[in-house]
Structure formats: structure tokens, C-alpha cells
Structure 1
């Protein structure tokens, strides 16, 4: 990947439909998240469509699905197929894998295969959707495998639009995505890079504290339009955490062009912008 040919790296891009027409979530959850984000656009672009969208904008994209098979009963998209398809777009796409933590040793073995055999550059977890407490030691062998492979782990944190507005939130529990659970993981695996996805509302201060305290913890800024960022996050992103925060959109729910337009309106020092948009991500992903 030619970093000089890129203006930015989007660290949070969902693949919600594969080449066979299968979708990452059932229709009720897709509709609920679309309503939550007030998203009227196509929620199911193919990987080729994602590549074209981002290539036209000179932005690299970290692409992934979420394997929540055990928690939801919905068959996951194949991380192997996503990685194979992304290999046709190495100029613009960076594949992440996803494994179901409830699969135990099988998840560990699959994670290792995804790195060694398919070239994934990191892993995505969604504790609320996958229904697991990330600091439960049952999942530590999985983190050990990722640390050994030298790839980052990206965890959803805070509120989620998945299940929002449905009775009981469709059983999805927000407490699993409290970033303080990941403080344990980051402390116990100092060699593992942990990325806290999204403004972590209602735990924003906790996320800032963790990223300030732990050298191996970063924050991606996806899932919110920057004009709605909590003010303490804006201050940290432009100051103490300017080398620890990453551009992310949450495409297709939020497009990179909308995110970037709103980001331009934030009161940040000029020196922080290139760090947030590209340089920090290049370092975390091992591209620099």
C-alpha cells in the first residue's frame, strides 16, 4: 500500500453483505440501526463497491464483519472470504478478521489461520453484540494469540445502534462494552494493541483515562459525526491524545465524506489533523 497516495485511513468500515447476498445481521437489527443513525443510504455495498467508493476518495479502509453467531443465532459472514476479496484491492483495503469468542480453542486456532493464511491485519470484536465480557479470563488465550501475531484488537465500546429502540434492545447488553473491562485486557497484555472503537458514551471519560494511562490503547472516532463529539474528547484528540486517536467512519452508516466534512469544523491544532487522519493508523496497522 502506497501511503503517499492516500489522504487518510478509515479504521472502521463494516462489510454488511457478501458476494453471495448474505447479510451480516438479520433484517430487524439492520432496520433498527438504520433508524438509529437516520441512515437512508444503501446498507449493503459489496466489498468491490466499498473499494471503489474509497479509492475514488484516496482513503484506505479497514474492512471487517462481526462474528456473533453464538449470541444472535445469525450466521456470520466469512472473514476468510472478506480477506480473499480484499486481496484484489491491496491498494485501498486492509482486512480485519472476526472470530466468535464463545468458540473457545476453535476461535484461537481460526484467528491464527486468518493471520498466517489470509493476511488479516487485526481483529474486530463487539462485546455487546457477541455477548461476552472481554476481561473474562476464558478469552485470554485468544488475546495471547493476537499478541503473538502482532496484530491489533479493535473493540466496540459504549452505546450501540444495533438493537436500539427494540424491546429490551433485542437482548443486547450495553455493559459488555464498558471500556473499563478493556483496561484489564490492556494491563494484562501490554504487548497487545487495543483500540477502543467510537466515542464511548456513557463512558467517555473512562476511555480517555485508559488511553492516556496505557501506551498500548488507542481510540477510533467512528460511529458519530464529529460535530456531536463530547467536548472532552475533542480536547483530548487535539491535545494529550493527538497521537492516540484514529479516523474511523462506521461506513456504511456514516460515510467518510460526511465524517471528514464535519471533522474539518472541529477546533483542533493543525498538527493534530494529519496524525488523526492517517499517521496514527499507519503506525497502529504496521504500515508506516
Structure 2
């Protein structure tokens, strides 16, 4: 039951400290409450304790900061964005440690389809990411604007990691209602779709849909392990051992120390850990 210490981990959501918090300006542009725009450095700070803000704005090399933390906690590989300077440098200098991904906003439908092709050629992108409630304007998971993106992912055999459930930032949740995934999986049976950020409060529905659709998976991004939903733990321990994938949230909202300290108490069965920490990500990201 205890987390094994001899499995090299794949983290399917990690990043690098930024010079400042301007990276979240796209969220502030959509929120209307004063806390989000004026008080919080991190727009969902009300939800997280111990955000590693001390790493932001330092003179330390952000790539080395993340590598050091990965080494501390036996993280062998990490999925990162290839769309900023730190990510591109990490991919060039440490190709054995980092895996390229990209994010899309399908408001520019064909522009994003072409960009997926471009970054797939240039950086060997292994995954696409999307934040439906964070698009500007918002784009629901099952909106027609997303369909060419899904089709391109099927064509290139790329998984898409999509935020689902009530978003942390203070804007409407409707675009990320988990029920919207059902129509997408019906229309794209070959698509590998991985949810991000919890699916709450519809985690039971997420489990039901994972039972139904072979290509649907769940990643644990943005959740300290002590808060993993009971429905997800129960599913992993029974029929879903191949569907649940580890993802952290360093340094955006959680430290790796917090994640891995909590992880020791997650009641996964012994058979679940290898897939959760490593093998499911290897399969989904086509690392073999």
C-alpha cells in the first residue's frame, strides 16, 4: 500500500519559476473580483497553502531550480511547455529529462491547428493541453471550435490534456462540465483525452465515463495527494489502475515536497503505483 521509492516518476504537469507573476495576466483579464486582480499574485491563491512563491523573481536559473527538485524526489521525466524560453532551453539542454507539450486556445481555430503541426515538427510535441474556461472568450469542451483540434490530435496520435470540473479562477465553470466529455469521446473514439485539475464536483461522473470510453484518462494535477477524490482512489484500486496518471503542479501552486510528503499516505494498492507514477504516462505519451 505504501508508495514505492524505487520507481522513476513521470510528472505530466511541471513548470519553471517565472521572473514575476505576469504569466497569470490572461486569468486576471477575465476575473471581476478585486482579490483576483489586486491582492493575489497567484489568481487561485485562496485555494492553496504554501505556494512556492519564494522561487519567483530570483536570480536562480529556473531550469536548474526545477531539475534540482526533480532530482530530490526521483522524477525522471517531466512534461513541459515548449512555448517559452525556459521550456525551450530545457528541451535543448536536457532532452533526456523533459518532454515537449503545448497549449491551445481554439478561438483561432485553424491558426491553432497549424501551430500544432508546426510545434510537433519543431519540438517533437508529445501532448496538447487546453484550459476551456481560461480561453478568451471561453470555449466549452464540446464546442465546435475544439473539434479541429481533437481531429489534429487523432491524426498526429497525440493525447490532449484538458482541464475539467469547476476551475479555480473566479470565472464560470460551465465550459468545463464533465458531462461535455461524453459527446467528445463519442465523436472521437480514437482520441486519447486526459482530464486535468480534478473534475470536481463530478468525479463520480468522470469515473463512469472512464469506464465507458477506452481513451479517457484522469490526471491528478493541481491536487495535493491528501485531497485526491475518494472516487478516483477507489476506481484506481479496482478497475481503473491503467487510467489514473500522476501530475503535480510545481511551481504554479504546490511544491514537490508537499506533494511527495502527502503521497506517502495515499491508499493505493501495490498494483496501482507503477502505472500511476510512470507506466500509464509512458503509454499515453508514446514514450516507448
**TM-score band, normalised by the shorter chain?**
0.7 to 0.9
SS at match of 1:97: strand
Give how far 1:84 is off. 5.1
Runs of 4 or more above 6 Å deviation: none
Give how far 1:80 is off. 8.0
After the TM superposition, which of the residue ranges 56-65 and 43-52 deviates more from structure 2?
43-52
Confirm whether residue 267 of structure 1 aligns to residue 286 of structure 2: no
Residue from 145, 158, 168 that aligns with 1:138: 145
Give how far 1:83 is off. 3.9
Instruction: Tell me the matched-pair count.
Output: 262
Task: State the partner residue of 2:73.
Answer: 57
Q: In 1, distance between residues paired with 2:187 and 2:68?
A: 40
What are the superposed Cα offsets for residues 2-47 of structure 1, whole Å, 9 maximum, x if unpaired?
A: xxx96111112245637xx684212736433233212341364834
What are the superposed Cα offsets for residues 180-200 of structure 1, whole Å, 9 maximum, x if unpaired?
A: 212222221122210011321
**Bigger RCO of structures 1 and 2 (CA < 8 A, at least 6 apart):** 2
Confirm whether residue 159 of structure 1 aligns to residue 166 of structure 2: yes
Which 5+ residue runs of structure 1 have no aligned equivalent? 66-77, 163-168
What are the superposed Cα offsets for residues 78-118 of structure 1, whole Å, 9 maximum, x if unpaired?
A: 35873454232212211211122111111110111111122
Q: In 1, distance between residues paired with 2:41 and 2:212?
A: 36
SS at match of 2:200: coil
Give how far 1:211 is off. 1.3
Q: In 2, distance between residues paired with 1:79 and 1:148?
A: 25
The answer to whether the 8 A contact 2:16-2:65 is kept is: no
CA separation of 1:47/1:126 partners in 2, compared to 1, >3 Å: closer, same or farther?
farther
Q: In 2, distance between residues paired with 1:158 and 1:254?
A: 19
Q: In 2, distance between residues paired with 1:84 and 1:191?
A: 33
Confirm whether residue 13 of structure 1 aligns to residue 14 of structure 2: yes
Normalization by structure 1: what TM-score?
A: 0.82
What are the superposed Cα offsets for residues 106-136 of structure 1, whole Å, 9 maximum, x if unpaired?
A: 1110111111122111011011111111211
The answer to whether the 8 A contact 1:124-1:155 is kept is: yes
How large is the RMSD of aligned CA atoms in angstroms?
Answer: 2.4
